[in-house]
Amino acid sequence: MTRTWNNPSRPRQERIEALLAEMTLEEKLAQLGSAWVGVERISGNVAPMQDVFARHATDYAQASKNGLGHLTRPFGTRPVEPADGLRHLHDLQRSLRDDTRLGIPAIAHEECLTGFTTYRATVYPASIAWAATFDVALVEQMAAAIGHDLRRVGVHQGLSPVLDVVRDYRWGRVEETLGEDPYLVAMLGTAYVRGLEGAGVIATLKHFAGYSASRAARNHAPVPMGPREFADVILPPFEMAIRDGGARSVMNSYADVDGVPAAADASLLTGLLREQWGFDGTVVSDYWSVAFLRTMHRVAATEGQAGAVALRAGVDVELPDTFCYGESLADLVRSGEVPEETVNRAVRRVLRQKADLGLLDAGWAPPAADGPIDLDPPGNREVARLLAERGIVLLENTDAALPLGRPASIAVIGPCADDPHAFFGCYAFPNHVLPHHPKLLRDGPGVHAPSFLQALAAELPDVTLRHEPGCPVREQDRSGFAAAVAAARDADVCVAVVGDRAGLFGQGTSGEGCDVPDLSLPGVQGELVEALLATGTPVVLVVVSGRPYALGGYTGRVAAAVQAFFPGEEGGPALAGVLSGRITPSGKLPVQIPAAPGGQPGTYLHPPLGGNSRGVSNLDPTPAFPFGHGLSYTTFTYSGLSLSAEEIPTDGEVEISCLVRNTGDRPGAEVVQLYLDDPVAQLPRPITQLAGFARVELAPGESARLTFKVHADRTGFTGLEHRRIVEPGDINVMIGASSADIRARGMFRLTGPVRVVGHERVMRTPVHAELVGAK
């Protein structure tokens, strides 16, 4: 007989209440827990302090005897062929269905930041690379493809996107972010959410909130941030992704902000997230962050007390294993210290998602493998290719050194030149898990991913290439300098490919737990570049990295400079195509490229005293290359700036338009950027802040008129009384090719009373591009 909660024709809330009434306390708490099957067999850490917690992991039969909320990474824990992974997940779910009293399946979750983090799945560019595309539609297309792959093998939730706004480039996880501007992060992050959720997979926003602003850029370190910066810079991407993207899950940050750990902050996880923003999904803990309330933050004396603190604050599910939401928490409920209704509140949220996923329906069965499964099909690779190509940034091109043309010989130098792993971020499976399996690693990354050297040889088959690594990525080894210098001296052109090797917890130069003291190129790579420049051979500098490194010492000295944030499996052909001229670069910087290695933190979002303040400080933070910068092999002109009104009320809207024309001799794409400046306000405001953008492709001689619809709400900020306001006054308008390359300027005035705005405010700047033909 079908029970009420098993019947999909009954109202969802009725089903949930019926099931809740049937559950014992132990069964309720089981829905708030998780199990990481096989964690004790993992060689090397893929999560913080994993080795410590794994020693105390409970076997799966014991962990799941009363049911289970989540299954942790059934595909991403170790290398498994896709069909084998599906069979493994099928068996785990069937055990829950058949061997527990209620038979409720678990939500299976996986990492999916640069694609489905499993063996043989497409490795897309890192987040910081797709941010460089400024291409909202393409990011949504990528996320939809990732969601399709997850869903077809029975995965319900993806632990992405990362919506942390970069505040310090030294932080190891810069590669996982979408840059340093909250509007860019919000737009691209929301696009990712729409793609994943549209495929039927729960998107998880992380890390809520403030994680990226840790003191001295140290992973998990305290965040010394005031409430206005928190509200105006950190929170908007999360707010937009929930309101406009429909994200159904949020993951708390590890860090404390102004002394309060996120996992213990009811004002954040309940007051703001649920009561103000209306979020009705689940909050899942970052791995072991509930246990860290006891061991690292020291706000609880026992595991049960840590669980109680997190549960009261609003953390619904403990990941990746159940340590604090188990029997020790049950004892506190039985004693009355924790009301059972607090448990019920979280259980309802989990069951609501399970109902929406069909996991409570009678007759539900886990998907079964019925043949080979291709997780890197041509369609995925096409999206990966477009992202890689559109995310490459041409920083400098002295005397039009690029495209290369057809030199007789090229010296390809550097530790990143012939290593496809240089193209992958720390959450890409080939760098995340595969290094702990050396036998498989020797066979390659599990997907077709040519190195830059291999791709350049295919791109320029008639050109003689000589490769010398010169040095390792991070070791202090100069023994290869002599061979590298000799190769460069004998060549017509030298391409120096330097940068990062992503890893985890100190095993790489970029990635989670791979923070740096300054922004010099890792190891002795900077010395290698200097040695190559001393040869007199033109040097094209290619930086393949997860963070921006200080390149001010090379500007004006290299023949050209290219920045490729980890570009994924198609990165080699994309880079080779840009250098050869087959591809016209169109990427723009989502973070500044610093001039000098010290002086952090600092981003382009600063008031006057945050910039070069002559007569006040001797330190000049002006970057080598500004936010939004990126050159092309063609040229674009801007003209015809017009505003639909000179004055609008503080609840009004103005249309701002300009004409952009491709004046070069080849097709190209320009990212047109709209910036605003509030010159007189209650509080010091950024002198330049992105308010809108559009990527437009133009043929030679072709023009497009771009029209931005800017609502007065887009000028809002958190005022003296800690309320978000729109106040009257002049607003400067700037449109250009970067935050520093402004091609057109205007101004409008806001009139009327100061308005207080909230969650329902306008957060987007719609833009329309109309092609107007060649001239």
Query: Which residues are catalytically annotated?
Result: 220, 286
In this structure, how many other beta carbons lie within 10 angstroms of the beta carbon of residue 396?
24
Q: φ and ψ at 490, to 5 degrees?
A: -85, -5
d(CA 214, CA 294): 20
Tokens, residue 456: 């350049």
* 3-state secondary structure at position 648: strand
Q: Which residue has the tokens 């030199």?
A: 407
Across the beta sheet with 702-711, what order do the strands follow? 636-643, 653-662, 702-711, 767-774
d(CA 400, CA 396): 9
Q: How far, in whole angstroms, is CA 571 from its chain's centroid?
A: 18
- CB distance 27 to 327 below 8 Å: no
Query: How many residues would you count in the chain?
Result: 775
Give the E-state strand segments of 488-598 in sequence order: 493-499, 539-545, 560-565
Which residues have C-beta within 8 Å of that of residue 96, sequence separation ≥ 6? Answer: 64, 67, 68, 103, 104, 105, 106
d(CA 361, CA 92): 18
d(CA 670, CA 343): 52
Give the E-state strand segments of 375-461 in sequence order: 393-397, 409-413
- Tell me the CA distances in angstroms from 490 to 413, 468, 554, one per residue in order: 13, 13, 21
Closest CA to 668 of 692, 639, 624, 704: 704
* 322-327, long-range: CB < 8 A, 24+ apart: 322/30, 322/32, 322/33, 322/34, 322/35, 322/58, 322/63, 323/53, 323/56, 323/288, 323/290, 323/291, 324/290, 324/291, 324/293, 324/294, 325/29, 325/32, 325/33, 325/290, 326/29, 326/33
d(CA 449, CA 455): 9
Closest CA to 526 of 563, 552, 488: 552
d(CA 690, CA 677): 9
- CB distance 37 to 76 below 8 Å: no
d(CA 245, CA 766): 15
- CB distance 175 to 126 below 8 Å: yes
Residue 696 forms beta bridges with which residues?
Answer: 670
* 3-state secondary structure at position 83: helix
Q: Is the bond leading into 209 cis (omega within 30 degrees of zero)?
A: yes
Q: Which amino acid is at 210?
A: G
Q: Which amino acid is at 612?
A: N
d(CA 61, CA 73): 17
- CB distance 134 to 184 below 8 Å: yes
Tokens, residue 195: 């793609």
> How, if at all, do strands 539-545 and 493-499 pair?
parallel
Residue 704 forms beta bridges with which residues?
Answer: 660, 771
- CB distance 110 to 117 below 8 Å: yes
